[in-house]
Chains A and B, each alone.
Chain A
Amino acid sequence: MKVGIIRFPGSNCDEDAYHAVVDHLGAEAVFCWHKDHDLQGAELVILPGGFSYGDYLRPGAIARFSPIMREVVEHARRGAPVLAICNGFQIACEAGLLPGALLRNDHLKFVCDQVHLRVESIGTRFTSRYHVDQVITVPVAHGDGRYTADADVMARLEGEGHVVFRYVNASGQVTDAANPNGSMRNVAGIRNAAGNVLGMMPHPERAVDVQLGSADGLPLFHSIADSLMSEALV
């Protein structure tokens, strides 16, 4: 698997993503500068976390117009996988790759914590290595993570099973206390209708080593690698 990690001015989880896929997965990875028009043959594109363009105007609002986003959108339109984490999720929503928006946390504070997520769907190319309703521990670190969408979009996400991760307590229950930012229906991660773009506020790339708290993010990267492998065999 060759992974292209997009670097915007202000990206700060690009190295974490590189470490996860290269050192823990054994994949090949390259950094793609936002001003270039070259994904360097990447099969998986990662839009990493950070504060692209200092969150000016709105998080992700300026980055979506970076030159390389043309190639990223084209990559997604071809059905190739895009993993959008944290600021990457915000950029993906601004770019129209995913529906909805990420607003300021309801309590107005930056939240930096380990949270529990319930895997809502294992029938995706991002989650096949998990089991149904598995509760995983992954860190969050954001100020603008409150997932918001209008009623129609929300109904479609729920009805068609596009909610991939939800904030829950340690026993897997959806509660207000387990919701770190006020996201509608405790949504932590969603996929697009085609199933090749995943956006999530929590950081799976920072949960790849038990010695650092959790390795629960690793199956996500293995799932993507599996999906690319099976595509190659077809």
Chain B
Amino acid sequence: MTRFRVAVEIVPRRGLLDPQGKAVSDALHTLGFATVSDVRVGRHLVLDTDATDADAARAEVQRMCEQLLANPVTEDFHIGLPEHA
């Protein structure tokens, strides 16, 4: 077993109202960043997990996302490349 560090990004699904993202987007526009068209505010998780290889670590984190870390009704997730912790 090797210890891997895996980062997960969870963001509100596109198409659903994200009031935090909208507030941030409005503030950016107020500051003059007129190029910004959309902001989504989500969560960033970093997990240390033991697995036989990087693929296994990723598959395990995928299951964690499906069962707990992300809400399948409202959120999308992206799993980063596992690194040696």
Q: Could you give, for residues 1-42 of chain B, a 1 whenever the CB lies within 8 Å of some chain A CB and a 0 otherwise?
A: 000000000001000110110010000000000000000000
A74 vs B68: C-alpha distance when bound (angstroms): 20
Given contacts A104-B20, A106-B17, A107-B19, contact A148 B74 (CB under 8 A): yes
Query: Is B62 interfacial (CB 8 A cutoff)?
Result: no
A106 vs B73: C-alpha distance when bound (angstroms): 17
Residue in B12, B20, B23, B68 whose Cβ sees the most chain A Cβ within 10 Å: B68
In the complex, chain A residues 38-62 whose Cβ is within 8 Å of any chain B Cβ:
57-58, 61
Q: B residues within 8 A CB of A212?
A: none
A61 vs B69: C-alpha distance when bound (angstroms): 8
A102 closest partner in B (C-beta):
B74
Q: B residues within 8 A CB of A105?
A: 19
Given contacts A57-B68, A182-B17, contact A108 B73 (CB under 8 A): no
Q: B residues within 8 A CB of A148?
A: 16, 73-74
A227 vs B49: C-alpha distance when bound (angstroms): 49
**B23 partner, pick from A65, A94, A108, beta carbons under 8 A:** A108
A146 vs B74: C-alpha distance when bound (angstroms): 12
A109 closest partner in B (C-beta):
B19
Q: Could you give, for residues 37-78 of chain B, a 1 whenever the CB lies within 8 Å of some chain A CB and a 0 otherwise?
A: 000000100000000000000000000000011010110000
Query: Are A108 and B19 neighbours in the complex by a CB distance under 8 Å?
Result: yes
B70 closest partner in A (C-beta):
A58
Given contacts A57-B68, A94-B71, contact A103 B16 (CB under 8 A): yes
A146 vs B71: C-alpha distance when bound (angstroms): 15
Size bracket of the B interface: 10 to 19
Q: A residues within 8 A CB of B12?
A: 103
A106 vs B62: C-alpha distance when bound (angstroms): 29
Q: A residues within 8 A CB of B69?
A: 57
CB distance from B49 to the nearest CB of A (A): 17
A117 vs B68: C-alpha distance when bound (angstroms): 32
Query: Is A149 interfacial (CB 8 A cutoff)?
Result: yes
Query: Are B73 and A100 neighbours in the complex by a CB distance under 8 Å?
Result: yes
Query: Is A69 interfacial (CB 8 A cutoff)?
Result: no
Query: Are A61 and B73 neighbours in the complex by a CB distance under 8 Å?
Result: no
Q: B residues within 8 A CB of A93?
A: 73
Q: B residues within 8 A CB of A99?
A: 73
Q: B residues within 8 A CB of A150?
A: 73
**A149 partner, pick from B17, B43, B73, beta carbons under 8 A:** B73
A99 vs B19: C-alpha distance when bound (angstroms): 22
Which residues does B use to contact A, with CB under 8 Å?
12, 16-17, 19-20, 23, 43, 68-69, 71, 73-74
